[in-house]
Amino acid sequence: MKNIYNRNLGYWIKHYLLDHLPIVRNLSRNTILSYRDALRQLLNYMSSQKYDIENADVEAITSTIVKDFLVYLEHEMHCSVSTRNQRLAAIHSFASYVASQSPEHLHWYHTLKSIPIKRRQIKEIGGRAVPQIEYLEKDEMQAMLNAPDRRTTQGYRDYALLLFMYNTGVRASEAANIIIEDLKIGKGISSPYVIIHGKGNKTRSCPLWERTVKTISPLLNRESCAPVFLNRYGNAITRFGIYELISRYAVKASEIKESIREKHVSPHTIRHTTASHLLEAGVDINTIRAWLGHVSVNTTNIYAEVNLRMKAEALKTCEIGETSSTKPIWKKDKSLLDFLMSI
């Protein structure tokens, strides 16, 4: 007998997230949550466009809807090209799964698969194309750290989180998953550090500044298995909560440091900032690679090449020529959505 649910969007999403990704593909929890969040954002967008997502056919996810959704991410949500491409990859993966189980959806899958990823903005450095990396200068990062009102409970938590992320260069998901026992800062620990659970279930250790230890210690009067950073409701903060927090303080910090207004500040911007500042301080590439949890040193080398470009541009401003008049160059019941939130 033909399954009456084989065209229902909710039916396929539930099987994809609860069976295909964790059991068939054996993906990590963080990776599954990333796919889930991409689909949740898409369904929220469709709902805002008056789609009845509870009763929608899977083919309601048309190429037009997906393209409009991607434009919305970039222009309304101010997401980076990398985030835009990650969301599209998740949609492609979901559509591929549906088509593999239901050949009648092959044409639908191919219409979505034809939507291309978007190239990231690149710059030429030494004749080589390198993705543009956005990060904060030291005075801009200090403005971000000064933005929270530390006299309030939430403001102090926000300051501690920003400082922790700047110290460690963690991804938003990694910061959200830190629990108290991951922090090695008690008596007998001569050099405080934190164990970070990164991509692919890999762990790494990162040293903590004395300032970070002192700031974060008041937040740790709970069970060792409890999350370090909580939201206002006492639950573990989420990746999206961290994103919203950083976006909010970037706006506030830009009132003091206007140059921040020209930048798209996200959790990954803080990560880039950590790497760039470590490099400027003379830390070698391999140490930074281990610090950030990069699999390949080639990923970390991007920071070195960007730093080299900065030095070259700074050097040009000091160049003396016989007739040069060049001025210095300065930088400028469970519903479907409830289900997605529950896994």
Active-site residue set: 171, 199, 268, 271, 294, 303
Closest CA to 102 of 94, 112, 111: 94
Strand intervals (E) in the chain: 122-125, 128-131, 183-184, 193-197, 203-207
Rounded to 5°, the CA angle 36-49-106 comes to 55
Coil/strand/helix, residue 230: strand
Q: Which residue has the tokens 């909710």?
A: 10
> Could you give the angle at the alpha carbon of 90 between the alpha carbons of 84 and 91, nearest 5°?
90
Q: How far apart are CA 242 and CA 52, in angstroms?
A: 30
> Which letter does DSSP use for residue 184 in this model?
E
β-pairing, 128-131 vs 183-184, is unpaired
Q: What token pair was written down for 294?
A: 């990069």
Distance CA 173, CA 30 (A): 7
Q: Give Cα separations from 30 to 21, 24, 203, 266 (angstroms).
A: 11, 16, 13, 19
In angstroms, the CA 285 to CA 280 distance is 11
Contact status, residue 135 vs residue 276, Cβ threshold 8 Å = yes
